[in-house]
Structure 1
Amino acid sequence: MGHLFHQDFLHLPDGTPLYYQRLGEGEPTMILCDGLGCDGFAWKYLTPFLARHHQVLRWHYRGHGRSGVPKDRSRLGMLYTCDDLARLMDAAGIQQAVLFGHSIGVQVALEFHRRHARRVKGLVLICGSYGYPLDTFHDSTLLKRLFPWLRRLVERYPPQAARLVRAVLSTELAMQVAILVELNRERIARQDMVPYFKHLANMDPVVFVRTLESMAEHSAKDHLPYVNVPTLIIGGGHDKFTPVRLSREMARTIPGAELLLLPSGTHTVPLEYRDQVELHVGRFLHERLGLTLPPP
């Protein structure tokens, strides 16, 4: 059933075109929510796995991937993201779905559950936290202190900022340094990171900093005790973007949540530990949601 594929744009009320694609068939739909500055690279292996028995919906946030940038660039961030997903589900005829979130997509999934709980059948939260990402990046407040200065610089000199980011991120050195410093170089494949660097290098830096500002000020921590759907949390012991203690905290606070910790995993666990992630996700969907267990 996983061979079906459809892609289209949903034109939002403010005119912004929102890109989405649907793969496979079968209920409930699995909706994948990306991290900041991403257009789906983290779902490379999990998408075909899920599409064996279910419809999978992938989509790009405003200003990300193939989605357009709103004419009014203040219309970015968490509240618009949740509204966009609700409209997308309506347009696709999806009443209820299992939400997957990676990185900042975890915040999106949790906030969407707060606002549209009846439309969420389950949550799979991977390498993310409930909020305030600048407070915990590398377990330091350095980025939080630097961010206002960086944002003002980008806002004042957007063309120059875009050229600089493109020049730096388009180099092989940037990718190799990131793999060496941030990721598990023994398990990550270079080609799996190419789409991320390519997308980020060409992204509008104003969109990036305004979206990050919104996410940095958002938290769903107060909502965690009220998450009333089966929840699987996956974290990496060496994740420097979202320290693993945040995964443990979410697992303690969300009623009945399951926790999978991969001690050597980093922020790209779905790419580094494909087999283990697929195994646990499959078991979770089968045991907690009563869904068909995909064959190994």
Structure 2
Amino acid sequence: MSHYFRQDYLTVPDGAALYYQVQGEGEPGMVMCDGLGCDGFVWKYLAPYLGQSYRVLRWHYRGHGRSGLPRERQRIGMLYTCDDLNRVMDAAGIDQAVVFAHSMGVQVALEFHRRYAHRVKGLVLICGSYGSLLDTFHDGNWLKRLFPFIRFAVERFPQPAAQLTRTLLSTELAMQIALSVELNRSLLAKSDLVPYFTHLANMDPVVFVRTLESAAHHSAWDHLPHVDVPTLIIAGEHDKFTPAWLSRRMAAHVPDSEFMMVPQGTHAAPLEHRELVELRVERFLREHLPASPPAPLAPFRESEREPLDVASSPT
């Protein structure tokens, strides 16, 4: 197992300082794209597992995790995110990668393939949709109807919104509701979910709603037939955020894609069924994208020697 680890910031032309970390060695590279309001909690097990054989890049979107914001705060959204990933891959020394994506990250991965296909060796799309996510949340469009009012309130009263969000998400009640309604408490350790709530409670709500607005208006549906790389699509049987039928629909329209349904899995399937997901991903990579000797890596500084538990770091 490689112990290589490097972390750094890349400041892009509009001033956003993007956090990224690289762990492990081996080609092709693996890039992890998070969901909305996440800073990597869902990759807690899968990223280190991949890091035993591959070079793994984890990074944070604008205003997420350790990444900062551009000088003009309205520069948030899907196309900025794809351009950011292109630059971060350059900084990390990764020419081509298998792009792993969770939740909203699935939209990022598909749009990135549309715009930068030459950089994508494969796709692993987990518990996500090809777009227009507000249309299908909990198999209804009630959030789509409610969102304009939420966005107005957050944009008009950002400080009270931040305080309210921090207060609500810091309660034990919020955690218990999530475990009871959205997730499978019999399969998910509470400690695996704490980093998500910690990050979301401290995130700027304006960044959250602007990112969500961009994702709500984005769709890669028309691009699905043009995906020309090995693709594995994983769905959670009881996922309420992005219902499993969306993943089935994607699999039906992405040429030669592979599909796996995680029994009793929810939106956090990689945490609930870590071994099942790891074994399926390993088989997919072995059959379609076998590992090759690692390319030369940039040396790391002493300050970068010890990896950080990024998922536990608040904004």
The corresponding residue for 1:197 is: 197
Q: How does 1:133-172 map to 2 (within 5 A)?
A: 133-172=133-172
SS of corresponding position for 1:249: helix
Question: What amino acid maps onto 2:8 in structure 1?
Answer: D
In structure 2, C-alpha distance between the alignment counterparts of 1:93 and 1:198, rounded to whole Å:
31
The corresponding residue for 2:302 is: none
Q: How does 1:4-83 map to 2 (within 5 A)?
A: 4-83=4-83
The corresponding residue for 1:249 is: 249
In structure 2, C-alpha distance between the alignment counterparts of 1:203 and 1:2, rounded to whole Å:
33
Q: How does 1:136-285 map to 2 (within 5 A)?
A: 136-285=136-285
In structure 2, C-alpha distance between the alignment counterparts of 1:70 and 1:162, rounded to whole Å:
20
Q: Identity over aligned residues, as a percent? A: 68
Task: Answer yes or no: is the 8 Å Cα contact 2:12–2:18 preserved in 1.
Answer: yes
Q: 1:78-115 CA deviation, whole Å, 9 max, x = no partner?
A: 00000000011122221110000000000000000000
Q: 1:36-61 CA deviation, whole Å, 9 max, x = no partner?
A: 00000000000110000111000000
Task: Answer yes or no: is the 8 Å Cα contact 1:30–1:97 preserved in 2.
Answer: yes
Deviates more, 1:33-42 or 1:63-72: 63-72
Q: 1:204-226 CA deviation, whole Å, 9 max, x = no partner?
A: 00000000000000000000000
TM-score, structure 1 as length reference: 0.97
Task: Answer yes or no: is the 8 Å Cα contact 1:104–1:128 preserved in 2.
Answer: yes
In structure 1, C-alpha distance between the alignment counterparts of 2:111 and 2:187, rounded to whole Å:
32
In structure 1, C-alpha distance between the alignment counterparts of 2:262 and 2:204, rounded to whole Å:
34
Shift of 1:263: 2.7
Over the residues paired in the alignment, what is the CA RMSD in angstroms? 0.8
Moved over 2 A (4+): none
In structure 2, C-alpha distance between the alignment counterparts of 1:11 and 1:130, rounded to whole Å:
29
TM-score, structure 2 as length reference: 0.92
Residue correspondences, number: 292
In structure 1, C-alpha distance between the alignment counterparts of 2:250 and 2:212, rounded to whole Å:
21
Task: Verify: 1:115 aligned to 2:115, yes or no.
Answer: yes
Structure number with higher relative contact order (C-alpha < 8 Å, ≥ 6 residues apart): 2
Task: Answer yes or no: is the 8 Å Cα contact 1:235–1:260 preserved in 2.
Answer: yes
Shift of 1:173: 1.0
Question: What amino acid maps onto 1:174 in structure 2?
Answer: A
* Structure 2, unaligned runs of 5 or more: 293-315
Question: What amino acid maps onto 1:248 in structure 2?
Answer: R
Task: Answer yes or no: is the 8 Å Cα contact 1:2–1:48 preserved in 2.
Answer: no
